Amino acid sequence: MKTRVGVFFGGISVEHEVSVISALQAIKAMDDQQYEVVPVYISKDRQWYTGEELLDIESYKDLKQLLAAAQKITVTRSESGSVILQKNPVPKFGKREVAEIDVAFPIVHGTFGEDGALQGFFELLDLPYVGCDVMSSAAGMDKVVMKQMLRDSGLPVLDYVWFYNSHWAEDSGEIEGMIEQKLTYPVIVKPANLGSSVGINKAANREELEGAVEEAMEFAGKILVEPMVSDMKEVNCSVVGDYEEVEASVIEEVLKTEDILSYQDKYQGGSGKGGEGSKGMESTDRIIPAPVTEERKTEVEELAKDTFQILGCSGVSRIDFLIDQTADKVFVNEINTIPGSLSFYLWEPAGKKYSQLLHQLIQLSLKRKREREKLIFSIDSNLFNMQNAEGAKGTKTNN
């Protein structure tokens, strides 16, 4: 019997379209001899849909027509304990259940998908799911938390200043002074919990800093400011595995058209033409393998694996690095726990086909499920039935 895999994609983040592209790439590559794919699309207005219509990338050009043809659903547990896709609204007569799934495969980039929110939903359903768990997803998504964890473990990260939007509103001058005291212009201003280079800008002085912060605050309530590495090379390395065993992919050098790798660089091959966007991260201008020395290659691979395991990751992630070529030093920049295109293009040159990568990810999710079934999450007790004096005091009422 085939394993029924619910592939979840879309979502309400600014990376919605990228998620659709990544998910349809994965669905196309999945081994249909072992797995039965059930697409689950999450619209920008938080509605959930399924149906064969969702598998055609061209149909997303007319989203209104697509969703009218698809089946609106809710994901819930049946009376038997299985996880089902149920028609929404539930019909009074006829079949309520659309499909049943054995494993969830989230390919939802960004907020409410890559940050632990969706993973928490799967946990409540007791449904095995691919990729990082709640904690590692949340830590990987928040650039400040990630930096703190890596720095405490001795991994190299750039200096930084972070603050909440409310702090900036209360006293922006104090924060600007702190930034100028700790860092040197130019600096990079980023939303702390967003991906795909959205809301990121360079600032060469205080005036530009104010503008960059104001834009970043449109996307997140927590802001990160880092020094800009002028003579920089950006390289990425993917890692697959879990807390026990990991392996690193080949390394890529990502080329950019500006000082900062932009959304267009990542998803439109730097051309700004929407047609290339359908290829996802695969279309980015890059050099594979990256032109680095064997020593630097080994250093990046080990840092990537260390980052993955320190954060408690599982499944596949992509770790992005900045190389300060003047100082000849490598810094961990960020981790993508659900990377664009699932970084399959970094594994194929290493001899791992996309279908093999997907199979490995699903098997890792089932392994985690088996391990968690051995743990105790609740104890067999009922405080409400306790008849001791202390319990009685807690429930006593005065008439």
DSSP character at residue 312: T
Q: Region 315-341: what's the mean pLDDT?
A: 97
Q: Given the structure tokens 């904690």, which residue do they identify?
A: 135
pLDDT at 398: 54
Q: Region 233-257: what's the mean pLDDT?
A: 94
pLDDT at 375: 81
Contact 342, 26 (CB under 8 A): yes
Could you tell me which CATH class the domain 3-129 is placed in? alpha beta
Contact 304, 121 (CB under 8 A): no
* DSSP output for 201-246: EEESSHHHHHHHHHHHTTT-SEEEEEE--SSEEEEEEEEEE-SS-E
Give the HSE-up count for residue 117: Cα atoms under 13 Å, Cβ half-sphere: 15
Q: Identify the bridge partners of residue 84 per DSSP, sorted by sequence position.
A: 76, 100
Task: Assign domain 161-227 to its CATH superfamily.
Answer: ATP-grasp fold, A domain (3.30.1490.20)
pLDDT at 285: 86
DSSP character at residue 311: T
Q: State percent of the chain over pLDDT 70.
A: 88
| Residue 165 Rama label (left phi>0; alpha psi -120 to 50; beta) | alpha
For residue 203, pLDDT over 60 is answered with yes
Q: Region 234-249: what's the mean pLDDT?
A: 97
Q: Identify the bridge partners of residue 201 per DSSP, sorted by sequence position.
A: 189
Q: State percent of the chain over pLDDT 90.
A: 81
| pLDDT band (50, 70, 90) for residue 394 | low
The total of other beta-carbon atoms located within 10 Å of residue 31's CB is 14
Q: What is the pLDDT of residues 118-159, one digit of tens each?
A: 999 999 999 999 999 999 999 999 999 999 999 999 999 999
Q: What is the pLDDT of residues 267-284, one digit of tens each?
A: 444 434 333 344 555 556
Domain locations along the chain? 3-129, 141-156+230-370, 161-227
Q: DSSP strand E in the chain: where?
A: 3-10, 35-42, 48-50, 71-77, 83-87, 97-101, 103-107, 161-164, 187-191, 201-203, 222-227, 232-241, 246-254, 286-287, 315-324, 329-336
Contact 99, 4 (CB under 8 A): yes
Q: Region 230-248: what's the mean pLDDT?
A: 96
Q: Which amino acid would we find at residue 84?
A: I
Assigned CATH for 141-156+230-370: 3.30.470.20
